[in-house]
């Protein structure tokens, strides 16, 4: 179960990085893409937190905790990239 979560989180991070790199447009377009990815991550985090209400099995609770921490790291990473790009003059 944990390996599946690791792969899922890794895939989501890679997708976010690819999106930002594949966009060859302006700084604003890249920023908008990263912001949209961060918004999506926040929604995912909210959904994960709601998931806690429905699980009672110990393993599922552990899985939810793991996913929550992974999503928090993803959001942190995206916000860092947004701030870096916003402070750059050139991409």
Instruction: State how far the Cα of 23 lies from the Cα of 87, in Å rounded to an integer.
Output: 18
- Identify which has the larger pLDDT, 11 or 36: 36
pTM of the model: 0.67
pLDDT at 84: 93
pLDDT in tens, 22-74: 445 688 899 999 999 999 999 999 999 999 889 999 999 999 999 999 999 99
Closest by CA position to 81, among listed 24, 19, 5, 11: 19
- Does residue 5 have a pLDDT over 70? no
């Amino acid at each position: 179960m944990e390996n599946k979560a690791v792969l899922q989180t890794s895939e989501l991070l890679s997708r976010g990085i690819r999106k930002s790199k594949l966009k060859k447009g302006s700084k604003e377009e890249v920023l908008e893409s990263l912001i949209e990815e961060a918004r999506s991550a926040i929604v995912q985090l909210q959904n994960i937190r709601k998931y806690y209400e429905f699980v009672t099995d110990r393993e599922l609770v552990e899985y939810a905790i793991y996913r929550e921490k992974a999503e928090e790291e993803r959001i942190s990473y995206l916000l860092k990239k947004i701030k870096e790009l916003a402070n750059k003059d050139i991409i």
